[in-house]
Amino acid sequence: MRRTADMVFRPTKVAVFIDGCFWHGCPEHFVMPKTNRLYWEEKIGRNIQRDRDTDNRLTEAGWLVLRFWEHLEPEACAATVIEAVPPRRQEVQASKHPKMTS
């Protein structure tokens, strides 16, 4: 699968995508161009399908996928990432060093 996340926290398996409102069909801001409409419907539809496929493949491989629209406040997106990464880091560390039981 050759797709690129905008940020990757590899040890914790967190992939972050910032989706452009036009290219990924934002329900709030996407406006279909008036010219060459069929081309754009197909193009944006393929982008959305590829996004869902990417999400599914990464999730099946144990990754947490975080997607944000470009219009969202960067501070809010960063806060979500900050909330998500440390617990996963703890899970990874715990799996590498399981507690000994007697």
pLDDT by 10s per residue, the chain, length 102:
678 999 999 999 999 999 999 999 999 999 999 999 999 999 999 999 999 999 999 999 999 999 999 999 999 999 999 999 999 998 888 888 777 655
Contact 15, 63 (CB under 8 A): yes
In a domain, 55, yes or no: yes
In a domain, 101, yes or no: no
Backbone angles phi, psi at 100, to 5 degrees: -80, 135
Measured distance CA(57)–CA(63) in Å, rounded: 9
In a domain, 2, yes or no: no
In a domain, 1, yes or no: no
pTM of the model: 0.87
Q: Which residues of 6-29 are buried (b: 16+ CB within 10 A; e: fewer)?
A: eeebeebbbbbbbbeebebbbeee
Quote the number of domains for the chain.
1
Query: Which CATH number goes with the domain that contains 40?
Result: 3.40.960.10
In a domain, 70, yes or no: yes
**Domain span including residue 61:** 7-96
